[in-house]
Amino acid sequence: MMIIMKSNATPQEVEHVIEHIKDAGLSVHLSQGVEATIIGAIGETHDLPTDQFEVLDGVEMVQRITQPYKLASRQFHPENSIFPLDGFTVGGEVISIIAGPCAVESRSQIIDTAYAIKEAGASALRGGVFKPRTSPYAFQGLGEEGLELLAEARDLTGLPIVVEIMSQVQIDLMLKYVDVLQVGARNMQNFNLLQVIGETQMPVLLKRGLSASIEELLMSAEYILAGGNNQVILCERGIRTFETTTRNTTDINAIPVLKNLTHLPVFLDPSHSTGHFDYVAAIARAAVAAGADGLIVEVHPDPVHALSDGRQSLKPEKFAAMVKQVGQIAEVMGHRLASVSPFPVHG
């Protein structure tokens, strides 16, 4: 249920409504936009009459939210969510690009990649450090050593770092090092993990599951939002279909559909959705043309010898060319690439 306040409602009237919501045993979500203040009454409201809120001073109207995902709904939050990361913002008119290797392998690999993607125009550095693979004998990641290397790369380049979290037991370690938590496709419906992340104020990149519907993705985001963490980025990364010529099938439809249903920023991962470097730039261009707020792309200085996902990783020079292309498309769409801050000065 959402309670829309009058444009001239006083802070005292807003607080009075919030008190009534809490007295009804519901939780409160306050959204103060440019044009309206909306108070969300979250919980079991089906049998709760709306007139007990409609009579309160300062209330314009009361509406029931029809979608099962309440806080993620554009019905509840009409304006696009925009939130800051170090040096740039996510959402709005800015296109952000996260780039880096699937896995952190060595100091030289991650530092060289960080410098290269920064020069090309990336906004943030990604790198996996916990890499549970289909085979238990494959490279499993460097763990905390990898986090330390990513932190060093951030110090040298100024790029915030994005790292996938695999379990709630890793939360304290992640909070010590990273700027954005990534929830991978396999953990999209790990609700215990989502609840723990919801209790943090860390930005989250939430990837769509391999066979998850758009509504299921939004319901997973709802777990994080319900915990009080409003900094959620949704990420389309391809879904599993009957087609085998690419690693996954890119659901390009998901971008405009999500932009219509939710206020949350929407990214696309052209690396996992195609599984082959030859197709990454084309799908990246399509994503921006379809209205995506950003991209997450795998980049490796030596893909042939990569320990993970080398086939879908771009070399730095190909990544730089892709950034120029998506920047041109962004301008046509009335957007722009996120500004890249200068390299830090070290004494």
In the structure, what pLDDT confidence band is assigned to residue 29 with cuts at 50, 70 and 90? confident
Residue ranges in the chain assigned as alpha helix (H): 11-23, 51-54, 107-120, 144-157, 171-177, 191-198, 214-226, 254-261, 270-274, 277-290, 316-332
What residues contact residue 153 under an 8 Å CB cut-off, 6+ apart?
A: 110, 111, 113, 114, 125, 127, 159, 161
pLDDT > 90 in the chain, percent = 75
Span 294-320, mean pLDDT? 96
Cβ-based burial of 81 (10 A; exposed 0-12, middle 13-18, buried ≥19): buried
pLDDT for the residue 86: 81
- Give the pLDDT confidence of 114-125 residue by residue, as tens digits: 999 999 999 999
Q: Is 2 helix (H, G, I), strand (E, B) or coil?
A: strand
> What is the CB neighbour count within 10 angstroms for residue 311?
15
Query: Mean pLDDT throughout 44-71?
Result: 87
List pLDDT tens digits, range 164-210: 999 999 999 999 999 999 999 999 999 999 999 999 989 999 999 99
What is the share, in percent, of the chain residues with pLDDT greater than 70?
98
pLDDT for 140 equals 74
193 in Cβ contact with 167 (< 8 Å): yes
Name the band, by pLDDT with cuts 50, 70 and 90, for residue 134.
low
Q: What rounded mean pLDDT belongs to the chain?
A: 92
Residues 207-248 have pLDDT tens digits of 999 999 999 999 999 999 999 999 999 999 999 999 999 999
Half-sphere exposure of 184 (CA within 13 A, CB side): 16
Q: What is the pTM of this model?
A: 0.91
Model confidence at 141, pLDDT cuts 50, 70, 90, reads confident
Report d(CA 120, CA 105) in Å as an integer.
21
Helices (H) and strands (E) in the chain, counts: 11, 15
Distance from the first to the final alpha carbon of the chain = 55
Q: How open is the CA angle 250-150-302, to the nearest 5 degrees?
A: 60
In the prediction, which pLDDT does 137 show?
A: 67
In which band, very low, low, confident or very high, does the pLDDT at 347 lie, cut at 50, 70 and 90? Answer: low
Asked whether the predicted pLDDT for residue 260 surpasses 70, the reply is yes
Task: State the chain's maximal CA–CA distance in angstroms.
Answer: 67
Encoding tokens for residue 84?
Answer: 């800051």
Catalogue all structural domains in the chain, each as residue range(s) with its CATH number: 2-63 (3.30.70.1140), 83-337 (3.20.20.70)
DSSP string covering 57-85: TTEEEEE---SS--TTBTTT--SPP-EEE
Q: Of residues 320 and 35, which shows the higher confidence score?
A: 320
Res 87 pLDDT > 80? no
